Amino acid sequence: MKYITKIIIPIVLILLSILSFYRLLRPGYPSMQDDIQVFRLNQFDKCIHDFQIPCRYIPDAGFGYGYPLYNYYSPLPYAIAEVFHLISFSYIDSIKIVFILCHIIGIFGMYFFAKHYWGKLGGIISATLFLLAPYQSVDSYVRGAIAESLALNITPFLFWALTQVITKNKHKLLFIILLASLLLSHNLTSLTFAPILLVYTLILLWQNNKLNIKNIINISIPTLLSIGISAFFTLPVIFEKNLVTVDTMTQGYFYYVIHFATLSELFISRFWGYGASLWGPIDDMSFSIGHIHWILGILLLIFFVFTRFKNKKINPVIFVFFFSVFIFSTFLTHSKSTFIWKALPFMAYYQFPWRFLASVIFSLSFIGGSAVYLFKNKKFIPYLTIIICLITIILNISYFKEDIWFPNLTDQQKLSGQALIQQSGAGLKDYWPKTGNKVPDVYAPDKPTASNNSNITILDYKKQSNHVSAIITAAKSSTITMPVVYFPNWTLSIDNVKTNYRTTPDLGLIQFDLTQGKHTINLSFSDTPIRKTANIISLLSIILAIILSRPSKKPHE
């Protein structure tokens, strides 16, 4: 019977997950607000082929001038997509596969985590609630927020692995990988769940009589290794933030005050739209928590408090903690929490307070599984499980669809012409190097230019993500401007001699003087000391994680 259960439950979870992504299995591509995922994967792919690993500077973004997107923007979703592209999937299909994987990872992760506390049927309830929460569809089908979707769906698996490490001293390597994956998936989601993970860790240590220095060190070591593995990304984000524009991320449309949700939007409205988050109480997208989610959560709290948590199988501390996470996270999405946002200036980088719906649906979905303890008679539990899952499907399945489907869209169409220009210019004010005093508004020239109408001939011009080369013949001394924005460290050599250069005052492009004659030009991009140090820390952390996670040999008897 146990063997049959082990087969049936994964099949059930897979079938349930298909409800959330079956529309992505068709040829073509959906519309989405962040319609830049295919372009970003294409740029990541160029980094890999240019052996710029880890990828930091991409060549065609910033209206073709390039800029250091992946020095600051989480790379893991695109690294996963790149694996599928390298085995012959198109860019479009590779991105869709990652969206699909997000839902599969999420439902299995929540099942395992909830199963630890509520049993198998409780795990299925929690998994279904998490899979079909409206905000999951907002991320996938409305916003197209692939990084946030991946991070959100990694989180349940991370909580499960952490639970296994503390309670059973198992799966340390998996915990390390999952925590590092979260850190490499989405900065803000990592920041959202960091305090929740910390408090949950302390509660779990306390409940298992392990709240002492030895066990704190035991969990701190894999945590530090996870941070170390992600250092190649996180350290430059922290220490090189001053090199690029980040203030634009909290100004104008992105000022958080504009985007608080109303109680009606959170709890009552079933409106579904594909537009933007707008100023005021009326928005063109949904911020619904999910009716079954919050109603079930509140009913369960009332029941368990009324019965004083008499059922010994339920963990009251864990239940109350995650219910508190739901309440506080919901509060942060509402304008009444403005005093907290003002007191913590870093929170402005969340831009949209409704991002905290991630921790809302996580916590509510988890505690929803405890519904299996409503009845003492176990005969009712399977029927209750089916009823809750069916209600969830009926109420929310209509959300999991795209606005517009482009059935015949190809990579070539997506990465050429006006579509390429639009994607290359999207979000360029985020992380644009501060070398110049403005950002471009037209696409870059396709080759170097000379000032004062100097007569130059350009041969063999080649632009890669980390190397630009050309043979330039100048009829007279000329000032050459490369269509490359400066970011440390670009190195220039002319005729194999390292040469100094300057940057243009407007866009911060690389510019240098060239004497009359024929010259070989080479620009090479390399890491700064902080990036090199971060790379070494990541490499050493990976090695240490593997060594420390190897099972110790038992002594011979």
339 token code pair: 């005093």
Number of CB atoms found within 10 A of residue 90's CB: 18
How do residues 63-78 score in pLDDT, each as one tens digit? Answer: 999 999 999 999 999 9
HEC string of 253-312 equals HHCHHHHCECHHHHHHCCCCCECCCCCCCCCCECCCCCHHHHHHHHHHHHHHHHCCCCCC
Instruction: State percent of the chain over pLDDT 90.
Output: 87
* pLDDT over 70 (residue 445): yes
Respond yes or no on whether the N-terminal peptide bond of residue 54 is cis (omega within 30° of 0): yes
pLDDT of 553 over the 70 cut: no
What pLDDT score was predicted for residue 249? 84
Query: What average pLDDT does the chain have?
Result: 94
Using an 8 Å Cβ cutoff, are 103 and 399 in contact?
A: no
- Bridge partners (DSSP) of residue 474 are 456, 517
Write the CA distances from 83 to 58, 76, 162, 289, integer angstroms.
18, 11, 27, 34
* Two tokens, residue 28: 């073509």
- Convert the pLDDT of each residue in 12-60 to its tens digit: 999 999 999 999 999 999 999 999 999 999 999 999 999 999 999 999 9
Longest dimension (CA), the chain: 93
At residue 157, does pLDDT exceed 60?
yes
CATH number belonging to the domain at 449-530, selected among 3.20.20.100, 2.60.120.10, 2.60.40.1180, 3.20.20.70: 2.60.40.1180
Mean pLDDT of 224-236: 97
Q: What's the average model confidence in pLDDT over 416-442?
A: 90
Q: Is the pLDDT of residue 454 over 80?
A: no
Q: Is residue 436 within 8 Å of residue 447, measured between CB atoms? A: no
Give the residue-averaged pLDDT of 216-220.
94
Over residues 271-315, the pLDDT tens digits come to: 999 999 998 788 999 999 999 999 999 999 999 999 888 888 899
Q: Where are the domains of the chain?
A: 2-30+72-403, 449-530
pLDDT for position 556: 47
Helix (H, G, I), strand (E, B) or coil at 287: coil
- Note the pTM of the prediction, 2 decimals: 0.95
Q: Is the link from the previous residue into 209 a cis peptide, with omega within 30 of 0?
A: no
Q: Are strands 456-463 and 467-474 parallel, antiparallel or unpaired?
A: antiparallel
pLDDT recorded at residue 247: 83
pLDDT average, residue stretch 529-539: 98
Average pLDDT estimate for 360-387: 94
Average confidence (pLDDT) over 452-473: 90
